Amino acid sequence: MASLAQRMTELTRERGHLAAAGVNPFGVCMDEVTSATEAVIAGRPTILVGTNNYLGLSFAPESIAAAVAATERMGTGTTGSRVANGTYALHQQLERRIADLYDRPEALVFSTGYMANLGVLSTVAGPGDTILLDADSHACIYDGCRLSGATMIRFRHNDVEDLEKRIRRLGAERTGNLVIVVEGVYSMLGDRAPLREIVEVKKRHGAILVVDEAHSLGVFGDRGRGLAEEVGVLGDIDFVAATFSKSVGTIGGFCVSNADGLDLLRYTARPYVFSASLPPSVVAAAIASIDLMEKGTHLRARLWENVGWLHARLTGLGLEVIAAESPILAVRMPSEQALLAAWMGLLERGVYVNLALPPATPQAVYLLRCSVCAEHTQPQLERVVDAFTEIAGGN
């Protein structure tokens, strides 16, 4: 019988390769997190430029106070699913808050953003239906599509013509529902979906459109509702899914929709039915942070100022930032060796970014993935640029 390590030969080989280079990206331990933008790693004060904490709300005093008060009043956890153990009043309050934010009749909260996509996609489509998903979609979207039992067809990333072509190929053989799934902002490269054009395709073919706004929630739109709000097509999106683990600064996920029967997902979506519900502290913090997010035009303005400044400085160093300005700045490196050396060099200089390499990256690119925060100060960003300047000179 093959051992687990033998069954994962390629992963074992890659881990050994990283270890030989003295790199362990999954073993970085933050001994202390001192703010939304700084931590202590291996005894060294480190600027965090890889946390997806776009608005810095993980340290918002209002959210921390709400979490503490909820814990003291209702305990540390629910110890089971809402179906089995009952719903807390805070869960209903959070769902009403999200529904109001999106001007939708209902919202459904899941324990993680991953589970939100699993629950939605595995339920809105089924055997006999067809799902067309962007090739660069997150793993949870792929897993939700597989769990649905529907026919799954990938189209080229952000290629509306390819999407249209693949729908037309279905022709008269098409049966059941047609579901299109995209993200607002893609998590690895930080590029945006052409939502206006995708909505036009959806309307032409009578499709259902699901948009994951995980990395665009809080970042785009007057009320922070995501890219669909920014480009004026929010009313045309059938299902919006997102997470609390980026701009909201905590954990959990949700779905909103105008579709009849959204509430029935409480009985049919396995990730909802069989997962423990969010603890009171997390729910209370999410409510407080959503309030701050919706009113946080100043936070979004500061975030975009930081994005523009850092994007200009990194490209000015001759580095290739793959996408246009976005809170995710993905710097392409020429090789795995250069990537590992640069990532380690940044960490040694007190700057933490994400190391991203194949097979996790689109088009097999090697990336230093940076995420910008509204709470990054000018001196912090200057230190980040200084560190990049030094590692760029070494490469």
Q: Which residues lie closer than 8 Å to 9 by C-beta, 6 or more apart? A: none
Q: For 71-119, where are the E strands, in sequence order? A: 106-110
Q: Are 152 and 207 in contact (CB under 8 A)?
A: no
3-state secondary structure of 208: strand
Binned at pLDDT 50, 70 and 90, residue 4 comes out as low
The H or E element spanning position 30 is strand 30-33
pLDDT of residue 174: 74
Residue 279's pLDDT band, with cuts at 50, 70 and 90, is: very high
Which has the closest alpha carbon to 69: 215, 218, 284?
284
Tokens of 342: 């640069």
What pLDDT is stored for residue 358 in this prediction? 86
Q: Would you tell me the crossing angle of helices 297-316 and 280-295 to the nearest 10 degrees?
A: 80
User: Counting every residue, how long is the chain?
Assistant: 395
**Is the model's pLDDT at 3 over the cut of 90?**
no
Per-residue confidence (pLDDT) for residue 362, from 0 to 100: 86
pLDDT in tens, 211-244: 999 999 999 999 999 999 999 999 999 999 999 9
- Whether pLDDT at 24 is above 80: no
Say which range, 25-29, 77-81, 84-88, 327-331, has the weakest mean pLDDT: 25-29
18: confidence class by pLDDT, cuts 50, 70, 90:
low
105-131 tens-digit pLDDT: 999 999 999 999 999 999 999 999 999
Domains in the chain, ordered, with CATH? Answer: 15-55+296-394 (3.90.1150.10), 61-295 (3.40.640.10)
- pLDDT of 2 over the 80 cut: no
- Tell me: the pLDDT tens digits for 180-220? 999 999 999 999 999 999 999 999 999 999 999 999 999 99
